[in-house]
Chains A and B, each alone.
Chain A
Amino acid sequence: MQPPPPSPGPQALPAPAATSADPAPGEDGFGSQIQQLTPQLRAFLGRLLRGGATYGTSLDDLVQETLTRSWRSRASFDAQRGSLANWLLRIAFTVYLDHRAAPPPESIVREAATQAADPVAAAAAREHLLRLLTQLDPRERHLLLRFHRDGRSIAELATETGLAAGTVKSLLHRARARLWAFERRQEPS
């Protein structure tokens, strides 16, 4: 991996103190642009939460904190270095990582676990996933389900299917790469 030249992370930036030079909210259009990106931000953070242990973190909390940090760090945004959407997602990712690093007390986790998730969003995500799975090759789909759902190892799958372990791994990589490509195709430009 060849990372590009390091850029100052949103978290590393000191929160700019409110001065008279600061534009008022919405004065420079920053606020309205962020507002337009909020649905994308919510979807991104929602996927991050669904993808791992939530530690009782609320999606609304993450969105709120991301918006707060982005507002404080707005002076660091440079349109020459990337889009505002990517800059915002990067801040959101940092916020999510911070919450993972410092899980809340057990009582809060238990309380959050009892809260029902959004059933509509969950159903939509599941339907979307099913649609993507149908586009995979049957062998890739089978291996993906056996590995990620049934918890089989690559060696076990190789024995089960009569394929070489390298072939199993290769088919799994291809299945994931296709899911990855599907998602990238659907990203807003």
Chain B
Amino acid sequence: MTAKLPKELLAAFDRGVDPLLDAELREWLLQHPEQLAAFASLRAQLREVSQLPLATAWPAAPQRPWLPIALAAGLLAAAIVLWLWLVGMPAGTFRAAPAAALPRPRLAPAAAVQAVLVTTVTLGPRERHERTQRHGMLARQAIESHTTSSADQPNLTFQATLSIAKNLAP
């Protein structure tokens, strides 16, 4: 037993004729009595449709209520990704452990740069001054060393180190 509407019946309806005018279809229905009830219903309904005062209009577009929502969500996600890429993610936002966080300069682009090391050396006739600054995301360090050199005096060297670490707590 098939539940499928026979093609010959559809073709008859397409031609706008009563399928029972076709002898072959009549014979087919007699050979398939299990289809008779559904056929009678369909034929009656298609005839009764002509009496329905039902307003109808062709839908302007296929009904896809999810489409605007999906588009808005996609745009929002793209904007968030772009914004994160431009300004850089806050420290430790998506990191599993603080130990994995690496220093990053405040103004550096969010690329592979972890820290910036700047060393300035000032040379005088009898002295040498060196200043090293390390700017990272989580730590900042300044090392200053001064060395004097004189023929009649021993060399003097001093060094000052200042390290500032940001809050590494998760």
Query: Chain A: residues with CB nearer than 8 A to chain B?
Result: 1, 3-4, 6-7, 9, 40, 44, 47-48, 50-52, 82, 86-87, 89-90, 93-94, 97, 100, 125-126, 129-130, 132-133, 138-139, 141-142, 144-146, 148-149, 151, 153-154, 160-161, 169, 172-173, 176-177, 179-181, 183-184, 187
Nearest residue (CB) in B for A87 is B33
**Given contacts A1-B6, A183-B37, are A129 and B58 in contact (CB under 8 A)?**
no
B1-30: CB near A (< 8 Å → 1, else 0) gives 001111010100110101010001011111
Among A51, A126, A154, the residue within 8 A (CB) of B14 is A154
Establish whether residues B31 and A50, one from each chain, have CB atoms under 8 Å apart when the complex forms: no
Residues of A within 8 A of B160 (CB): none
Cα–Cα, bound, A161→B46 (Å): 21
Query: Chain B: residues with CB nearer than 8 A to chain A?
Result: 3-6, 8, 10, 13-14, 16, 18, 20, 24, 26-34, 36-52, 54, 56-59, 62-63
B40 CB to nearest A CB, Å: 4
Interface of B is mostly: helix
Establish whether residues A181 and B3, one from each chain, have CB atoms under 8 Å apart when the complex forms: yes
A-B residue pairs in contact (CB < 8 Å), sample of 27: A3-B28, A3-B31, A4-B31, A47-B40, A51-B40, A51-B44, A51-B46, A52-B20, A52-B43, A52-B47, A89-B36, A90-B30, A97-B20, A100-B20, A125-B44, A142-B56, A142-B58, A144-B46, A145-B49, A148-B50, A160-B58, A176-B5, A176-B46, A180-B5, A180-B38, A183-B37, A183-B42
